[in-house]
């Protein structure tokens, strides 16, 4: 059973994670955080050394949620092709999945922190690499079993695949139009069937 201090820390992280994700590190003030949590600045700093530590914990929280959801999709039963189709289906509804997080944590934090917070930017890059690796493992599984043949090494294919998805997420966000995401996922599914058939 968790202690009161652990519950308070978890509450703070869960509450501030979408705020940091939506507003960015610079755009999030301590007053935003105290207002959202109902805690004083002193209480926040009693649980976190500074704003940097809190922002990093918030990103890790969102990142862990995303990676756990991807694990359910990519590590479940089924053929590699079925796993890839489950993956595209996950991303077809990605905007709904990330809504209460404040949007895509990799995109938001990765762009926002690029020039103003090296640690957060590095954390976003690392999470993106982990996602690419998860996709590559599915591709490798299919190639090794003879289920399909890849035109390039699995990690290279995974990077291009993920780049298209993240580009669609970015455009859907910028244009406030989820058709960018839906159309790209539909195209990716056709591309997968064409490119990796044995």
Per-residue pLDDT of the chain (198 residues; tens, 9 = 90+): 578 878 989 999 999 999 999 999 999 999 999 999 999 999 898 889 999 999 999 999 999 999 999 999 999 889 999 999 999 999 999 999 999 999 999 999 999 999 999 999 999 999 999 999 999 999 999 999 999 888 899 999 999 999 999 999 999 999 999 999 999 999 999 988 887 765
Residue 132 token pair: 């690419």
Q: 117: closest CA among 58, 160, 166?
A: 58
Pick the closest to residue 125 from 143, 113, 142, 140 (CA basis): 113
Instruction: Kindly write down the DSSP assignment for every residue of 136-185, as one continuous string.
Output: HHHHHHHHHTTS---SS-HHHHHHHHHHHHHHHHHHHHHHT-THHHHHHH
pLDDT of residue 191: 87
- Report the interhelical angle of 179-195 vs 80-92 (nearest 10°): 170
* Predicted local distance difference test score (pLDDT) of residue 198: 56
Alpha helices in the chain (DSSP H): 4-27, 30-37, 41-47, 51-74, 80-92, 94-98, 105-112, 118-144, 154-175, 179-195
pLDDT value for 163: 97
Exposed e or buried b per residue across 101-119, where buried means at least 16 C-beta atoms within 10 angstroms of its C-beta: bbbbbbbbbbebbeeebee
Q: What is the CATH number of domain 4-195?
A: 1.10.357.10
Domain spans in the chain, listed from the N-terminal domain onward: 4-195
Rounded Cα–Cα distance for residues 157 and 189 (Å): 14
- The rounded distance, in Å, linking the Cα atoms of 139 and 81 is 8
């Amino acid at each position: 059973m968790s202690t009161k201090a652990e519950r308070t820390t978890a509450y703070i992280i869960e509450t501030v994670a979408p705020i940091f994700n939506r507003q960015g590190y610079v755009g999030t003030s301590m007053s935003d955080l105290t207002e959202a949590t109902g805690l004083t600045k002193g209480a926040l700093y009693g649980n976190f050394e500074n704003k940097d530590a809190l922002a990093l914990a918030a990103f890790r929280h969102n990142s862990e949620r995303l990676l756990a959801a991807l694990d359910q999709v990519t590590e479940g039963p089924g053929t590699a092709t079925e796993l890839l189709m489950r993956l595209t289906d996950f991303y077809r509804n990605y905007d709904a999945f990330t809504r209460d997080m404040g949007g895509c944590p990799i995109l938001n934090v990765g762009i926002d922190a690029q020039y103003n917070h090296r640690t957060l930017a590095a954390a976003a890059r690392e999470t993106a690499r982990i996602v690419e690796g998860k996709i590559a493992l599915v591709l490798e599984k299919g190639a090794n079993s003879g289920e399909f043949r890849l035109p390039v090494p699995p990690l290279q294919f995974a990077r291009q695949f993920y780049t298209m998805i993240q580009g669609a997420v970015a455009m859907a966000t910028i244009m406030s139009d989820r058709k960018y995401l839906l159309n790209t996922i539909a195209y990716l599914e056709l591309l997968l069937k064409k490119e990796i058939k044995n």
